[in-house]
């Protein structure tokens, strides 16, 4: 994995250098405008190398949060289909997303992808599985470029990796200005939030995903935990060297979280998840349950998306409401 | 009805084999013609015949359509044929070896060995000397080979392998490897990789690629020939070791061939398709219940039956609720199970009759 990051960085640096050269030579009236050159090479999930030969025109968004990123980049008119429509996306683009054609409610098979004749598939790493015969290498052999969003496969992914996603999309689609705009907006929002909460005591947070094996399924040191950190909180299971795990309710009670974040997705409704927490007598001693400090996030909010900074802000408002009056 | 089929199969086995072969060819044709992408029957066969014999002009047919037919559907149908046959032949070998009706292709600990290998490849990320990451398929293959060697070495006493020892050692090694896999899964830092690895082990043909097909087909043919050569000694061994020895059968040699053959078949099948349950257990029993235990008849009929069952199960897996594909193991058990139960009741079948 380290190797893949190093390679990715190397590629990015080369591209940055190219971009830099272009700026010097171009000079003149529009110094901000950066033109992408093709072909471009990237190293993505499973260390696989992918090439983008031209600006993609027929794009498939293989997951909800990657669809969100593409819409945010203003690429809605190039999306020929989406998979896994299982979460709301950024409200700004939701109307457009609602109209998108669904290729498969789950991961698309190779036959479906090839039949759509896309030139670019963008998804979470899970969409590019050996099992379905849809790894990046296999898609490349069919002349289809594809890319995994970094947060899905990189351990310890943070907001920087979301910026990198957008930077890469900017280069691939020759929309580097739009990418820079999104990144700057996010950076500003996150640093504003960090400034607002910086003198506050860190709030203890428990992320509730579901009940499993009579315990709580929760995240450890993953992307959500990083977002919580930016918002002046700490995931009570952050020390766990796993992205996800089932923990005992006892350890939750022992940690006594101030706020609970519920992952709202799948067939179990949010109301039911809240009821599970509020009706469990053992949990009544927890501050978050006592004071009703329970919020929820959609999949798109807690994955790498155009809403990442909004999610940090949402967390901070729940953790430190007095800072945002 | 069943009696008639049974008599027909027993008395005219060669004739039935020819009929089943024709059915198998029709089945492969059907499998290639069906899929989530809507492609007309004519187009599909133009592409196939063009690639095979250079017939027809493919002008006006989209590149993606050609890819789907020739690079996705054809390998998948052929892989179904090879894997179905391999699992069935392996099941026959293991049932003959252990004289245990519950023996199945995975009795040598292959499925748990393969799981360990697959999970290891996925979670730990083993790098090959070539600098590429080891694929899950290769991990599964190596894992199954390791488990076979372990079971074989541990079950051997003074150069001989007693069937009951093999079963027991197989169970123990399986348990150890499964615990090892669970340990890896529970302590793995990345949830996504765990899901990928376990998903892979579910078994199915959806990842079939052209280059995956040749090896399983070759292994299938070699094993078939090998088993047909030892069919008579196998019949003798079904009557008990002492009778077999009296008839001049080298029981120990035959057993070694059976283990080798079964190991080769199953680990190849596992590497290309994960663990598909039920086919290797049930098809040999169904065939035996119809034609008796003469291996000269059981082997070819089972091979054809196994191929047919798996290809149809795969067709069902992708056609029942498109565009979602079900794991093929669900179908083999859901439809094969009741047929098997019915046969047991209708024929009062018992193993080794």
DSSP output for B195-206: HHHHHHHT--ST
B129 within a domain of the structure (yes/no)? no
B69 within a domain of the structure (yes/no)? yes
Query: What pLDDT score was predicted for residue B131?
Result: 60
Strands B156-157 and B160-161: antiparallel
Contacts of B204 in chain A (CB under 8 A): 131
For A12-67, write each residue's pLDDT tens digit: 554 544 444 433 333 334 545 678 999 999 999 988 999 999 999 999 999 999 99
Distance CA B88, CA B80 (A): 12
Distance CA B233, CA B254 (A): 8
Query: What pLDDT score was predicted for residue A24?
Result: 38
B168: its two tokens: 């027991």
B331 within a domain of the structure (yes/no)? yes
Angstroms from B103 CA to nearest CA on chain A: 27
Closest partner residue to B207 (CB to CB) among A46, A125, A131 is A131
For B234-270, write each residue's pLDDT tens digit: 888 888 878 888 888 888 888 888 888 888 898 888 8
B8 within a domain of the structure (yes/no)? yes
Angstroms from A46 CA to nearest CA on chain B: 7
**Which residues have C-beta within 8 Å of that of residue B178, sequence separation ≥ 6?**
B112, B115, B116
Closest partner residue to B199 (CB to CB) among A1, A105, A131 is A131
Strands A210-212 and A215-219: antiparallel
Distance CA A320, CA A7 (A): 40
Quick check: A131 and B195 CB within 8 A?
Answer: no
Find the CATH number of the domain harbouring B231: 1.10.3470.10
DSSP B39: -
Decide: B107 and B167 in contact? Cβ < 8 Å.
yes
B113 within a domain of the structure (yes/no)? no
* Statement: residue B100 has pLDDT above 80: no
List, in order of start, the domains of chain A with CATH numbers.
Answer: 2-186 (3.40.50.1980), 200-319 (3.40.50.1980)
B304 within a domain of the structure (yes/no)? yes
Q: For chain B, say whether A80 makes contact (Cβ under 8 Å).
A: no
| Residue in B with minimal Cα distance to A138 | B209
Quick check: B67 and A114 CB within 8 A?
Answer: yes
Query: What pLDDT score was predicted for residue A119?
Result: 94
Number of domains in chain B: 1
**Which residues have C-beta within 8 Å of that of residue B260, sequence separation ≥ 6?**
none
Q: For chain B, say whether A106 makes contact (Cβ under 8 Å).
A: yes
Q: For chain B, say whether A19 makes contact (Cβ under 8 Å).
A: no
For chain A, give the percent of residues with pLDDT over 70: 90
B140 within a domain of the structure (yes/no)? no
For B177-206, write each residue's pLDDT tens digit: 989 888 887 777 777 677 777 776 777 887
Contacts of A108 in chain B (CB under 8 A): 323
Residue B99, domain extent: 2-103+204-347
Q: Please state the rounded mean pLDDT for residues A67-92.
A: 94
- A-B Cβ pairs (cutoff 8 Å, strict): 90
Q: Please state the rounded mean pLDDT for residues B76-90.
A: 93
| Residue in A with minimal Cα distance to B63 | A117
| Residue in B with minimal Cα distance to A84 | B324
ipTM for the complex shown? 0.76
Contacts of A132 in chain B (CB under 8 A): 206-207
Closest partner residue to A153 (CB to CB) among B137, B192, B202 is B192
Q: Please state the rounded mean pLDDT for residues A213-239.
A: 93
C-alpha B243: how far from chain center: 31
* Statement: residue A75 has pLDDT above 50: yes
Quick check: A153 and B190 CB within 8 A?
Answer: yes
B25 within a domain of the structure (yes/no)? yes
What is the rounded average pLDDT for all residues in chain B?
A: 84
Contacts of B200 in chain A (CB under 8 A): 129-131
Closest partner residue to B37 (CB to CB) among A115, A131, A153 is A115
Quick check: A105 and B324 CB within 8 A?
Answer: yes
Helices (H), chain B: 2-11, 13-33, 41-53, 63-67, 74-98, 110-123, 136-155, 163-187, 191-201, 210-229, 231-238, 241-246, 251-273, 279-291, 295-319, 328-347
């Amino acid at each position: 994995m380290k190797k893949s990051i190093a390679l990715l960085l190397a590629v990015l640096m080369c591209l940055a250098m190219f971009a830099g050269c272009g700026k010097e030579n171009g000079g003149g009236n529009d110094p901000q405008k950066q033109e992408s050159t093709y072909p471009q090479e990237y190293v993505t999930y499973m260390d696989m190398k992918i090439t983008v030969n031209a600006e993609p025109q027929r794009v498939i968004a293989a997951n909800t949060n990657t669809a969100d990123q593409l819409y945010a980049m203003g690429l809605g008119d190039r999306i020929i289909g989406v998979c896994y429509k299982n979460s709301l996306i950024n409200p700004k683009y939701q109307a457009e997303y609602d109209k998108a054609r669904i290729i498969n409610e789950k991961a698309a098979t190779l036959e479906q992808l090839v039949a759509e004749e896309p030139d670019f598939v963008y998804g979470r790493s899970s969409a590019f599985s050996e099992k379905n015969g849809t790894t990046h290498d296999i898609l490349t052999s069919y002349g289809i470029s594809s890319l995994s969003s970094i947060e899905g496969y990189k351990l310890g992914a943070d907001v920087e990796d979301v910026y990198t996603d957008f930077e890469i999309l900017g280069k691939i689609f020759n929309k580097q200005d739009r990418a820079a705009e999104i990144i700057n907006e996010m950076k500003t929002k996150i640093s504003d939030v960090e400034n607002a909460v910086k003198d506050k005591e860190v709030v203890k947070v428990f992320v509730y995903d579901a009940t499993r094996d009579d315990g709580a399924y929760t995240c450890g040191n993953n992307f959500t935990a990083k977002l919580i950190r930016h918002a002046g909180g700490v995931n009570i299971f952050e020390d766990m060297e796993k992205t996800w795990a089932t923990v005992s309710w006892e350890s939750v009670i022992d940690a006594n979280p101030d706020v609970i974040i519920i992952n709202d997705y799948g067939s179990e409704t949010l109301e039911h998840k809240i009821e599970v927490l509020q009706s469990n007598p053992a949990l009544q001693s927890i501050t978050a349950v006592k004071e009703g400090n329970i919020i929820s996030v959609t999949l798109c909010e807690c994955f790498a998306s155009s809403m990442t900074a909004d999610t940090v802000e949402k967390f901070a408002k729940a953790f430190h409401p007095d800072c945002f009056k | 009805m069943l009696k008639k089929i049974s008599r027909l199969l027993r008395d005219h086995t060669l004739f039935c084999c020819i009929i089943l072969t024709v059915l198998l060819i029709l089945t492969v044709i059907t499998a290639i013609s069906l899929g989530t992408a809507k492609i007309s029957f004519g187009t599909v066969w133009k592409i196939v015949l063009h690639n095979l014999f250079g017939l027809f002009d493919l002008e006006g047919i989209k590149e993606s359509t050609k890819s789907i037919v020739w690079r996705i559907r054809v390998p998948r149908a052929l892989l179904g044929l090879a894997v179905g046959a391999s699992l069935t032949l392996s099941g026959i070998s293991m049932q003959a070896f252990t004289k245990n009706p519950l023996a199945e292709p995975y009795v040598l600990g292959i499925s748990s060995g393969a799981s360990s290998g697959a999970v290891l490849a996925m979670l730990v990320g083993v790098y090959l000397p070539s600098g590429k990451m080891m694929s899950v398929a290769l991990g599964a293959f190596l894992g199954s080979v390791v488990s076979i060697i372990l079971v074989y070495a541990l079950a051997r006493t003074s150069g001989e392998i007693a069937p009951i020892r093999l079963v027991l050692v197989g169970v123990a090694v399986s348990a150890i490897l499964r615990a090892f896999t669970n340990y890896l899964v529970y302590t793995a830092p990345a949830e996504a990789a765990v899901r990928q690895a376990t998903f892979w082990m579910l078994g199915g043909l959806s990842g079939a690629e052209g280059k995956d097909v040749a090896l399983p087909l070759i292994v299938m043919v070699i094993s078939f020939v090998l088993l047909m050569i030892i069919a008579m000694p196998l019949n003798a061994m079904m009557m008990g070791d002492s009778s077999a020895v009296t008839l001049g059968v080298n029981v120990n040699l035959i057993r070694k061939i059976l283990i080798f053959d079964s190991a080769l078949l199953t680990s190849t099948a596992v590497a290309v398709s994960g663990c598909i349950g039920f086919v290797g257990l049930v098809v040999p029993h169904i065939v035996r219940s119809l034609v008796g235990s003469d291996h000269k008849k059981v082997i070819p009929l089972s091979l054809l039956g196994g191929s047919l069952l798996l290809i149809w199960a795969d067709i069902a897996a992708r056609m029942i609720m498109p565009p979602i594909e079900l794991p093929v193991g669900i179908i083999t058990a859901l439809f094969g199970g009741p047929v098997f139960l019915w046969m047991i009741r209708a024929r009062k079948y018992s193993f080794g009759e």
